[in-house]
């Protein structure tokens, strides 16, 4: 907690032209759900934070996948081609990747795994995986906000292959390619790279809703993440959103 407070403090010093709270309130961490904390803000509850997080998953489509390199003794043959340094075993690496919110009943992100990509090689070698993402307000509004006061979070879990039948039944190809039309170039069965569908099975959710005097910062129980309803996601509004048109409802109309 102290670490976040310091990180937030330094960003405040860099962005003094924006409307910002007093340091006193930035350093305080009221309990979630506390109403009318003396900063004057209502702190969203853990569940409200889960709803915001699920809406961000729905509206964003690019994040960072973090995995850990296996120790060099457990290298598989495929790493031989990439000239990997010998001392990166146990070190995390974060790499950009695409995801889609295509299994809304669980909130497990859908990912198109390219077998030779580092994130998926590390996962295949036993690494757990974390998807980190953040909310980008629509451009017209983005400049009004301090980025340090916008929600971001990490989904911690593991990758699970999605069976062909589930891909078909859930319309995952259609959903994913609406988020990422260019991914048609590397769908499973393409001639260039081996790829397959996976879900990130979410086990833990770490959330930073914004400045600590007005947002929840902390872990969101995975049950809260999973049981967010479609209606809640549709009704929720994130900073800079104006109307319901922004909701990509066609993605869930299968």
Ligand X SMILES: *[C@@H]1O[C@H](CO)[C@@H](O)[C@H](O)[C@H]1NC(C)=O
- Interacting residues toward ligand X by CB under 6 A: 126-128, 203, 221, 223-224, 227
Cβ closer to ligand X: 190 or 203? 203
- How far is 2 from 71, CA to CA, in rounded Å? 32
**Which residues, 6 or more positions from 12, have their beta carbon under 8 angstroms from its beta carbon?**
20, 23, 26, 146, 148
Query: Closest separation between CB of residue 86 and ligand X, Å?
Result: 20
Give the nearest distance from C-beta 129 to ligand X in angstroms.
Answer: 9
| Cβ 158 to ligand X shortest distance, Å | 6
Measured at CB, which residue is nearest to ligand X?
223
| 139 CB-near residues (< 8 Å, 6+ apart) | none
φ, ψ for residue 161, nearest 5 deg? -65, 145
Residues 6+ apart with CB under 8 A from 197: 110, 111, 112, 113, 161, 162, 167, 172, 188
End-to-end Cα, the chain, rounded Å: 42
Given the complex with ligand X, which of 76 and 203 has the nearer CB atom? Answer: 203
Of 38 and 234, nearer to ligand X (C-beta) is 234
CB of 223 to ligand X, least distance (A): 4
By beta-carbon proximity to ligand X, the closer residue of 94 and 188 is 94
Comparison of 127 and 149: residue with beta carbon closer to ligand X: 127
| Distance in Å, CB of 121 to ligand X, minimum | 14
Residues 64/149, Cβ–Cβ less than 8 Å: no
């Amino acid at each position: 907690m102290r670490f976040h407070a310091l990180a937030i403090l330094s960003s405040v010093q860099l962005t003094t032209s924006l409307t910002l709270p007093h340091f006193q309130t930035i350093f305080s961490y009221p309990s979630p759900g506390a109403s009318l904390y003396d900063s004057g803000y209502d702190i969203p509850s853990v569940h409200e934070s889960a709803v915001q997080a699920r809406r961000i998953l729905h509206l964003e489509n690019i994040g960072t996948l973090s995995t850990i390199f296996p120790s060099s003794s457990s290298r598989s043959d495929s790493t031989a081609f990439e000239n990997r340094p010998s001392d990166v075993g146990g070190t995390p690496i974060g790499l950009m990747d695409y995801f889609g919110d295509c299994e809304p009943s669980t909130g497990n992100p859908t990912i198109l795994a390219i077998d030779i990509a580092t994130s998926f090689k590390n996962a295949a070698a036993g690494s757990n995986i974390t998807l980190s993402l953040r909310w980008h307000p629509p451009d017209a509004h983005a400049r009004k906000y301090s980025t340090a006061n916008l929600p971001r979070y990490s989904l911690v879990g593991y990758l699970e292959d999605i069976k062909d039948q589930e891909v078909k039944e859930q319309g995952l190809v259609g959903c994913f390619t609406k988020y990422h039309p260019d991914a048609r170039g590397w769908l499973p069965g393409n001639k260039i790279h081996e790829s397959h569908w996976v879900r990130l099975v979410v086990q833990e959710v770490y959330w930073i809703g914004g400045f600590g005097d007005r947002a929840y910062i902390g872990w969101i129980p995975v049950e809260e993440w999973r049981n967010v309803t479609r209606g809640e996601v549709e009704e929720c509004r994130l900073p800079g959103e104006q109307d319901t048109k922004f909701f990509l409802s066609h993605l869930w109309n299968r």
